[in-house]
Amino acid sequence: MKVLLLGGTGEARTLAELLTAEGIDVVSSLAGRTTDARLPLGEVRKGGFGGADGLGDWLREHRVDAMIDATHPFAATMTAHAVAASRDTGVPLVVLRRPGWTPGPGDNWHWAESATAAAGLLPDLRIKRVFLTIGRQGLDAFATTGLWTLARCVDPPEPRPTWCALVLARGPFTLADELGLLLQHNIDVLVTKDSGGPATSAKLDAARELHLPVVVIRRPPLPTDLTTVESVDQAVEWAVQRAV
C-alpha cells in the first residue's frame, strides 16, 4: 500500500514512522516554506503540486492508494486541494486534526475570525504591548495598530517588517520560557491561532498566570462530508484497515 502523507507537523512525522513500521510505503509531502524543517522518516518531497489538478495528476502517476492530510489546522488551501483531488481520483482521504484549545478557569479569551478581526479587537482591550504568535502569514494585519508589537516566527518574514520586533524560535516552549518572554517585554496581550496541541500551549498557561487577555483566531472550517480523526493512532488505524 502506498500513502501520500501531507505533512509539516509533529503528528505527521510520528505518523510517517508508525506507518512505515506497519509496512506501508509512505511519501511525505512538505510545503517547503520552513527552512531546516524536521524531516520525517522515509521518502520526502518538497514543494507544491500545482493546485488540486496537479495533486490529482500526481496521485494517478504514482499510483497512490490513500492520502492522509496531517497539515497544520490553518493550512486551509492545501486541505481544500486534497479534498478536491480525492473526489476527482477516488483516492480515499482522511484529515488528521488535533483538537483545538479551550479556555479554562481564569482565562480571558477573545475569539476572532481572522488576523484582521483580531487586530480590530485590540483597541477595545486598552493595551499597549502585543505579543503575536501567529506565524509569518497575517502579520501585516497588525502593522497599523500603533501598538508596540513583538512577533515570534520560525523563519523571518520577507520582507522583514520594520514596524515590529521579531524573535525567531521554534517550539516546543516551556512555561518558564513563555513567562520570561512576556515579563521581559512587558507584554499585556497575547494574540495566537487556535493551533491546538501541547507544543505551543505553554504561552496560554503563562498568559493565565499573568492575568493577560488572549485573542485567539479561530480555525478555518473543514469541508463537509469529510472523514476526520483527532489522533495519530486513529490515522494509523484508518490506513491499516485499507491495507488489509
What's the whole-model pTM score?
0.90
User: What is the model's pLDDT at position 103?
Assistant: 96
Domains 2-99+221-243 and 109-217 share a fold: yes
Residues 203, 133 contacting (CB under 8 angstroms): yes
CATH annotation of 2-99+221-243 = 3.40.50.720
Domain boundaries, the chain: 2-99+221-243, 109-217
User: What is the model's pLDDT at position 104?
Assistant: 93
User: What is the model's pLDDT at position 33?
Assistant: 60
Show the low-confidence residues of the chain (pLDDT under 70): 32-37, 244
User: What is the model's pLDDT at position 41?
Assistant: 80
Interval 136-177: pLDDT, tens? 989 999 999 999 999 999 999 999 999 999 999 988 899 999
- Residue 50 to residue 112: CA distance in whole angstroms: 31
User: What is the model's pLDDT at position 220?
Assistant: 94
Indicate the class that CATH gives domain 109-217: alpha beta
User: What is the model's pLDDT at position 34?
Assistant: 57
Give me the amino acid identity at 1: M
- Residue 52 to residue 19: CA distance in whole angstroms: 25
Q: What is the CA radius of gyration of the chain?
A: 19
User: What is the model's pLDDT at position 40?
Assistant: 83
Residue 102 buriedness (CB in 10 A; 0-12 / 13-18 / 19+): exposed
